[in-house]
């Protein structure tokens, strides 16, 4: 079977071409991809040629936020969200319930594993999550970043009535605000340099959204950093009260993060680093079903697969919020 796929060949070099698609192997299902969201980590591959210590060694199909309809097999015709992470389930970390930290994980759009930026993909059936009737492919794709926000919230040990701050209001930061509000927390302040994202933060539930140079003197129970910059980390430390937790969600362009050690030490802060998400898809689906969060409020520009390069350029320019590619358009 031949189909169209978008491959990242190098920094800023995305090419769409027809390729051969192999037949599904035992334990796999073929998914006709309906929607893929562009993530900040995808932009690291696109703009920097890698993420952290991992570099682009060969052309790869990017994309790990995606959903579609199964073709053939036991789930034929069912719309599914695709969990991009396939942990080994055998290592010590997996057995301890930390599948997101599995050193043997296979992750879509990372390394040599092709992701969702194509018309079809064969993927382990056990990693496909059935979507309720009425939930379309774009919403299904948004469940992955929603899951990242859920996992970060879990790491923050947020309680009902907690006073929190979110620094960085890209899609993950905005979903964090929605999840935190659903958890009964008060998002006292959201910090973001871009005006349109500050407006989105207020619509998502933040009591106040300000630019980094307008941050008020606050002391919150939990601070979340979702920008991936040293300045954002320092702001999160500044906003946290003594003894608080600070959750670092953003991914820096360089494989290093620096912050004011004296602030963190004197406040006795607990710093927690968030990696992807754990087993949260069922919870994410329930949150959407119950109307407690609205991931579609973040979706802006949509592009067909042939214009994947334009989609990446738009996402890199950060003109809007979530950019989506629809391979069947």
Q: Where are the alpha helices (DSSP H) in 4-110?
A: 40-48, 92-95
Q: What is the pLDDT of residue 198?
A: 98
Q: What is the pLDDT of residue 88?
A: 95
73 alpha-carbon distance from chain centroid:
29
Q: Which pLDDT band holds residue 79 (cuts at 50, 70, 90)?
A: very high
99-103, 213-217, 250-254: range with lowest mean pLDDT: 250-254
Q: Which pLDDT band holds residue 254 (cuts at 50, 70, 90)?
A: confident
195-204 and 171-182 helices, crossing angle to 10°: 20
Range 254-261, long-range pairs (CB < 8 A, 24+ positions): 255/52, 255/53, 257/230, 257/233, 258/230, 258/233, 259/230, 259/233, 259/234, 260/234
- How far are the Cα atoms of 56, 149, 214, 221, 241 from residue 234, in angstroms, in the given order? 30, 20, 14, 16, 13
Q: Which pLDDT band holds residue 44 (cuts at 50, 70, 90)?
A: confident
Q: What is the pLDDT of residue 247?
A: 98
- CB-based contact 6:117 (threshold 8 Å): yes
Q: Which pLDDT band holds residue 49 (cuts at 50, 70, 90)?
A: confident
Listed residue (34, 115, 29, 33) closest to 75, CA to CA? 29
DSSP helix/strand/coil, 59: coil
Q: What is the pLDDT of residue 182?
A: 97
Please check the confidence at residue 53 and state whether its pLDDT lies above 90: no
- Convert the pLDDT of each residue in 9-32 to its tens digit: 998 899 999 999 999 999 999 999
- What residues does each domain of the chain span? 2-130+294-326, 148-273
Strand partners, 28: 124
Does the fold of domain 148-273 match that of domain 2-130+294-326?
no
Instruction: Count CB-CB contacts under 10 A for residue 74.
Output: 8
Q: What is the pLDDT of residue 46?
A: 85
Please check the confidence at residue 186 and state whether its pLDDT lies above 80: yes
Q: What is the mean pLDDT of the chain?
A: 95
2-6, 109-113, 119-123, 135-139: range with lowest mean pLDDT: 109-113
Q: From 1.10.10.60, 3.30.1050.10, 3.40.50.720, 3.40.50.150, which CATH number describes the 148-273 domain?
A: 3.40.50.720
Q: What is the pLDDT of residue 329?
A: 79
Global pTM? 0.95
Listed residue (298, 290, 284, 273) closest to 146, CA to CA? 284
- Convert the pLDDT of each residue in 205-243 to its tens digit: 999 999 999 999 999 999 999 999 999 999 999 999 999
Q: From 3.40.50.1100, 3.40.50.300, 3.90.180.10, 3.40.50.12780, which CATH number describes the 2-130+294-326 domain?
A: 3.90.180.10
């Amino acid at each position: 079977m031949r189909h169209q796929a978008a491959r990242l060949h190098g920094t800023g070099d995305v090419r769409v071409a027809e390729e051969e698609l192999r037949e599904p192997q035992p334990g796999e299902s073929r998914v006709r991809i309906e929607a893929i969201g562009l993530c900040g980590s995808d932009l690291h591959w696109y703009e920097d040629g890698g993420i952290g210590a991992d570099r682009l060694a060969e052309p790869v199909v990017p994309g790990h936020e995606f959903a579609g309809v199964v073709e053939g097999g036991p789930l034929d015709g069912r719309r599914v969200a695709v969990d991009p992470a396939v942990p080994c389930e055998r290592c010590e970390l997996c057995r301890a319930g930390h599948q997101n930290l599995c050193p043997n994980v296979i992750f879509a759009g990372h390394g040599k594993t092709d992701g969702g930026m194509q018309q079809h993909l064969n993927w382990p059936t056990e990693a496909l999550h059935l979507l309720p009737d009425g939930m379309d492919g774009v919403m299904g794709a948004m469940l992955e970043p929603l899951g990242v926000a859920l996992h970060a919230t879990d790491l923050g040990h947020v309680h009902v009535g907690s006073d929190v701050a979110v620094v960085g209001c890209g899609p993950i930061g905005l979903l964090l605000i929605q999840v935190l509000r659903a958890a009964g927390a008060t998002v006292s302040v959201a910090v973001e340099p871009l005006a349109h994202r500050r407006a989105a933060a207020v619509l998502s539930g933040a009591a106040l959204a300000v630019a980094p140079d307008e941050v008020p003197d606050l002391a919150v129970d939990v601070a979340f950093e979702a920008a991936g910059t040293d300045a954002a980390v320092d702001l999160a430390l500044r906003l946290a009260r003594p003894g608080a937790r600070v959750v670092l969600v953003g991914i820096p362009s360089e494989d290093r993060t620096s912050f004011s050690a004296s602030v963190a030490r004197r406040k006795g802060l607990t710093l927690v680093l968030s990696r992807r998400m754990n087993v949260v898809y069922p919870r994410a689906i329930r949150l959407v079903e119950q109307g407690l969060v609205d991931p579609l409020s973040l979706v802006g520009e949509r592009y067909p697969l042939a214009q994947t390069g334009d989609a990446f350029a738009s996402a890199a320019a950060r003109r809007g919020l979530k950019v989506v590619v629809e391979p069947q358009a």
